[in-house]
């Protein structure tokens, strides 16, 4: 363990939802839920306003709608979020060469390795400057935790939310962790938490009191030893700049269970092709093909086949996935399918094509062509996706508020405008077209109006064992218009962005 809090953990605040609010003035201060909008979609992120109603990530979207019926429900724009994430990660790499991204909106940084901090005071200044830079470049807020280890830095950033900075001073770790729930520690999920609770262990202090031997008896050798060390605030993990990719996979959840075995096969082939495109995009190949099937009763089956060498050939992956499907009972219906490739490498074994039966591959390619036609038709029917950007020849830039019954409702506004007007068009209006997202901050340097984008700022000060730096104030945004916009406009009901 270090003697100074020079490991930083950044977690952007309600990232997807905050990005949507920042790009849509009419949603600022309103409940926003981002995720799959179909019957089986799940919540990817909920704004803090939506969390007041009990909505949270990974919740079924149907449950979220019951809890917050008046919230704005939007389909994710992952390309938009990734562009913002790249800006944030660039700021982190200016602090240190050791940046370990965990997701689009979360990362560890070793400040000491970059010379950005060497003691508590310099670490706090670096964290405060990072938060200010993120706001200036992206218009969004992030919470920062600083501590002497990765585990504690992540706990600190959770305490800092939303839009704050918490420093856990070396020497205070045990006292701070003691009264916390066991669920605070990494690796303690619902199942492990329930197991410990049944043994009478509810807090981190009670883990220490139980002793290492008792934890090993309850949880097994590896998990027991690791959990006891964390309860004592011991974490020697280093910040690793490049995290090795373990696998590449894709999956789809279906609004209605698939009962037709032929349709299941076609979906598996389509997923295999998508997986290979992602594999090739990363410059990788793999030896092990994995098929995932979730059945009508929520039981999930996983099957795998390891090839003689790595491949990125779509025909080989399709054939292997179909062979795996032959051993799966899909009677009763299938609600989710996934195809993945693991055992990754950066080269391919060319003669693996021999593993695919030529005649069968030709049939598969014809079937994929038929699926592509269906997908193209579906894409045309659903091209007006809730929350996505559009442009009208007369009214300019806007976003889809909803569509249905042959009409599409659009709110015309931009990140640096006041809440915009709502208009409804025919779905085939020649003046309306899909558009690229606009940057949240004009020019990427904060010159687009800091006051208008500081709507999310929340100042706070803390408490024992930690120090929080108050956030900036900023002017409140203009009063947002209501949701939804115009009567008769439906909501998009596709399952884009959701998972099972």
> Dihedrals φ, ψ of 45, to 5°?
-150, 145
106 carries an active-site annotation = yes
C-alpha count within 13 angstroms, C-beta hemisphere, residue 435: 20
Maximum distance among all Cα pairs of the chain, rounded to whole angstroms? 72
CA 496 – CA 499 distance, rounded (Å): 9
Of residues 132, 205, 200, 151, the one with CA closest to residue 7: 151
- Between the alpha carbon of residue 210 and those of residues 200, 202, 213, 222, 426, the distances in Å are 9, 11, 8, 17, 67
CB 352 within 8 A of CB 309: yes
Using alpha carbons only, how large is the chain's radius of gyration in Å? 25
Place of tokens 């490049």: 242
Of residues 480, 462, 385, 458, the one with CA closest to residue 38: 385
Q: What count of other Cβ atoms lies within 10 Å of the Cβ of residue 5?
A: 29
Is 404 exposed, middle or buried (CB count within 10 Å of its CB: 0-12, 13-18, 19+)?
Answer: middle
CA 336 – CA 388 distance, rounded (Å): 25
CB 138 within 8 A of CB 445: no
Beta-bridge partners for 258:
334
Q: Which residue out of 20, 49, 100, 106 is catalytically annotated?
A: 106
CA 300 – CA 65 distance, rounded (Å): 26
Non-local CB neighbours of 280 within 8 Å, separated by 6+ positions: 312
> Dihedrals φ, ψ of 396, to 5°?
90, -150
CB 496 within 8 A of CB 37: yes
Q: What count of other Cβ atoms lies within 10 Å of the Cβ of residue 69?
A: 10
CB 289 within 8 A of CB 307: yes
**Encoded tokens for 102:** 């965990």
Distance from CA of residue 214 to its chain's centroid? 36
Non-local CB neighbours of 213 within 8 Å, separated by 6+ positions: none
CA 398 – CA 420 distance, rounded (Å): 8
The residues annotated as belonging to the active site are: 106
């Amino acid at each position: 363990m270090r003697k100074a809090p020079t490991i930083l953990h950044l977690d952007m605040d309600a990232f997807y939802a905050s990005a949507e609010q920042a790009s849509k003035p009419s949603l600022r201060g309103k409940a926003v839920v981002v995720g799959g909008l179909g019957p089986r979609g799940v919540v990817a992120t909920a704004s803090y306003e939506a969390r007041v109603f009990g909505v949270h990530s990974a919740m079924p979207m149907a449950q979220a709608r019951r809890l917050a019926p008046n919230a704005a429900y939007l389909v994710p724009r992952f390309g938009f979020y990734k562009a913002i994430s790249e800006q944030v990660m660039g700021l982190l790499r200016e602090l240190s060469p050791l940046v370990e991204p965990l997701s689009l909106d979360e990362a560890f940084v070793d400040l000491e390795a970059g010379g950005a901090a060497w003691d508590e005071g310099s670490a706090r200044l670096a964290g405060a400057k990072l938060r200010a830079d993120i706001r200036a470049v992206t218009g969004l807020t992030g919470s920062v935790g600083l501590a002497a280890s990765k585990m504690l830095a992540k706990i600190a950033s959770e305490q800092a939310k939303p839009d704050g900075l918490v420093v856990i001073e070396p020497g205070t770790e045990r006292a701070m962790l003691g009264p916390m729930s066991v669920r605070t520690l990494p690796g303690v999920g619902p199942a492990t938490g329930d197991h410990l609770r049944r043994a009478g262990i509810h807090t981190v202090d009670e883990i220490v009191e139980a002793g290492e031997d008792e934890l090993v008896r309850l949880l097994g050798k590896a998990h027991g030893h690791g959990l006891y060390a964390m309860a004592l605030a011991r974490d020697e993990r280093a910040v690793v700049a490049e995290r090795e990719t373990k696998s590449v996979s894709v999956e789809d959840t279906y609004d209605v269970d698939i009962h037709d075995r032929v349709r299941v096969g076609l979906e598996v082939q389509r997923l295999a092709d998508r997986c290979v495109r992602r594999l090739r995009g990363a410059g990788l190949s793999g030896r092990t093909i994995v098929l995932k099937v979730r059945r009508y009763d929520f039981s999930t089956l996983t099957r795998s086949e390891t090839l003689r060498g790595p491949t990125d050939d779509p025909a080989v992956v399709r054939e292997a996935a179909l062979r795996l499907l032959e051993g799966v009972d899909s009677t009763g219906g299938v609600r989710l399918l996934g195809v993945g490739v693991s055992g990754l490498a950066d080269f391919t074994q060319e003669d693996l094509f021999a593993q695919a039966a030529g005649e069968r591959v030709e049939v598969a390619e014809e079937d994929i062509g038929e699926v592509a036609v269906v997908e193209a038709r579906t894409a045309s029917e659903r091209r007006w996706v809730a929350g996505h950007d559009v442009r009208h020849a007369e009214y300019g830039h806007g976003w889809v508020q909803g569509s249905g019954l042959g009409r599409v409702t659009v709110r015309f506004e931009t990140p640096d405008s006041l809440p915009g007007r709502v208009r409804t068009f025919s779905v085939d209006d020649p003046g309306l077209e899909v558009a690229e997202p606009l940057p949240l901050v004009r020019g990427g340097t904060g010159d687009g109006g800091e006051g208008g984008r500081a709507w999310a700022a929340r100042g706070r000060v803390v408490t024992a064992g930690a120090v929080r730096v108050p956030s900036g104030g900023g002017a409140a945004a203009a009063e947002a218009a209501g949701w939804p916009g115009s009567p008769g406009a439906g909501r998009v009901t596709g399952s884009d962005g959701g998972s099972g």
